[in-house]
């Protein structure tokens, strides 16, 4: 059982929390903005737990979808499904249980609009792995899936999803395009061999400049949002720090070295954290 549990942890990437953090920072930022810095404690805890549960379920679904591909990719060959350490049915069961727990949290503690949005979130999470077969911009689809906690946060706290929430989601899509292209640059050669579509392949020799453009658009949207809703210097200081981090990522990816590209991807945790801290401290200093 201990060995089995280790395989399930690897399946759901609980041993690699970077994905949880990349989902969490935009969601927390949305909760703070939706409530002027005073999120409901119960709702906050539900969204943190829900983020962990749905990201873990999404990883299990992703491995089921990619089980025939992962064995041929150097970075993913040792994943439990690819290495045949667990069965497909086990992976589906793990994903199903995690998604069910997340659904029960929404059903029992959040309002009806959030419940309706949770169905869309589940569909996005479950369908994303298959977009890599036919969609040239799967990272954009992932950005919507990863950012859907933003409209759900507004729905849970205010009972509505204003235009502001959708603009935050758009910013998140461009951020995801940036960091997941860096991630895809690691597997570029393997993806060509197995026929997976990624933005790293779509952008070709312009991949580095497109990553930086996506960072710029994300930061530009967040700057406009801050000005529109009257956020102050702590918020813009957080954006400035995020901008400096994005420029640091350029130094990592410009030569397309696999290890440095992966380092840039992981380092996006700090970019998201910087933006969230700017939001949090801006509201904290008002009280």
Residue 129's pLDDT is: 85
Q: What are phi and psi of 180, to 5 degrees?
A: -80, -20
Q: Which whole-number Å values give the CA distances from 208 to 29, 181, 242, 248, 250, in the listed order? A: 27, 9, 18, 13, 7
Quick check: 225 pLDDT over 90? yes
| Tally of structural domains, the chain | 1
The model's pTM: 0.93
Question: For 144-193, how does the pLDDT look when each residue is reduced to its tens digit (9 = 90+)?
Answer: 999 999 999 999 999 999 999 999 999 999 999 999 999 999 888 777 77
Mean pLDDT of all residues belonging to the chain: 93
Question: For 14-65, how does the pLDDT look when each residue is reduced to its tens digit (9 = 90+)?
Answer: 999 999 999 999 999 999 999 999 999 999 999 999 999 999 999 999 889 8
- Going by C-beta distance under 8 Å and a sequence separation of 6 or more, which residues neighbour residue 1? none
What would the 3-class secondary structure string for the chain be?
Answer: CHHHHHHHHHHHCCCCCHHHHHHHHHHHHHHHHHCCCCCCHHHHHHHHHHHHHHHHHHHHHHHHHCHHHHCCCCCCCCCCCCCCCCCHHHHHHHHHHHHHHHHHHHHHHCCHHHHHHHHHHHHHHHHHHHHCCCCCCHHHHHHHHHHCHHHHHHHHHHCCCCHHHHHHHHHHHHHHHHHHHHHHHHCHHHHHHHCCCCHHHHHHHHHHHHHHHHHHHHHHHHHHHHHHCCCCHHHHHHHHHHHHHHHHHHHHHCCCCHHHHHHHHHHHHHHHHHHHHHHHHHHHCCC
Q: Which of 208, 203, 235 is nearest to 219 (CA)?
A: 235
Q: What is the domain-level CATH number for residue 185?
A: 1.10.357.140
Question: For 15-29, how does the pLDDT look when each residue is reduced to its tens digit (9 = 90+)?
Answer: 999 999 999 999 999
Query: Residue 281: CA atoms inside 13 Å, Cβ hemisphere, count?
Result: 13
Query: Residue 252: CA atoms inside 13 Å, Cβ hemisphere, count?
Result: 24
Which residue segment(s) compose the domain that 116 sits in?
A: 2-284
């Amino acid at each position: 059982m201990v060995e089995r549990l280790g395989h399930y942890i690897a399946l759901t990437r609980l041993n690699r929390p970077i994905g949880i953090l990349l989902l969490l920072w935009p969601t927390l930022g949305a909760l703070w903005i939706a409530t002027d810095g005073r999120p409901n404690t119960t709702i906050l805890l539900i969204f943190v737990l829900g983020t962990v549960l749905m990201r873990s379920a999404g990883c299990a679904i992703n491995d089921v979808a990619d089980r025939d591909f992962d064995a041929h990719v150097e970075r993913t060959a040792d994943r439990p499904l690819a290495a045949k350490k667990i069965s497909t049915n086990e992976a589906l069961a793990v994903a199903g249980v995690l998604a069910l727990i997340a659904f029960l949290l929404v059903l029992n503690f959040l309002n009806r609009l959030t419940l309706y949005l949770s169905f869309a979130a589940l569909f996005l999470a479950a369908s994303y792995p298959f977009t890599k077969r036919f969609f040239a911009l799967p990272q954009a689809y992932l950005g919507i899936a990863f950012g859907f906690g933003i409209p759900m946060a507004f729905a849970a706290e205010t009972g509505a999803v204003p235009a502001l929430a959708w603009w935050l989601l758009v910013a998140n899509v461009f951020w995801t395009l940036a960091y997941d292209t860096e991630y895809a640059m690691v597997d570029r050669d393997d993806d060509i061999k197995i026929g997976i579509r990624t933005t790293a392949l779509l952008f070709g020799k312009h991949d580095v400049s497109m990553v930086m453009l996506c960072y710029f658009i994300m930061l530009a949207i967040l700057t406009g949002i801050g000005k529109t809703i009257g956020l102050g210097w702590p918020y813009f200081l957080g954006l400035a720090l995020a901008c400096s981090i994005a420029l640091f990522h350029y130094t990592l990816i410009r030569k397309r070295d696999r290890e440095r590209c992966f380092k840039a991807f992981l380092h996006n945790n700090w970019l998201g954290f910087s933006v969230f801290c700017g939001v949090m401290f801006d509201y904290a200093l008002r009280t």
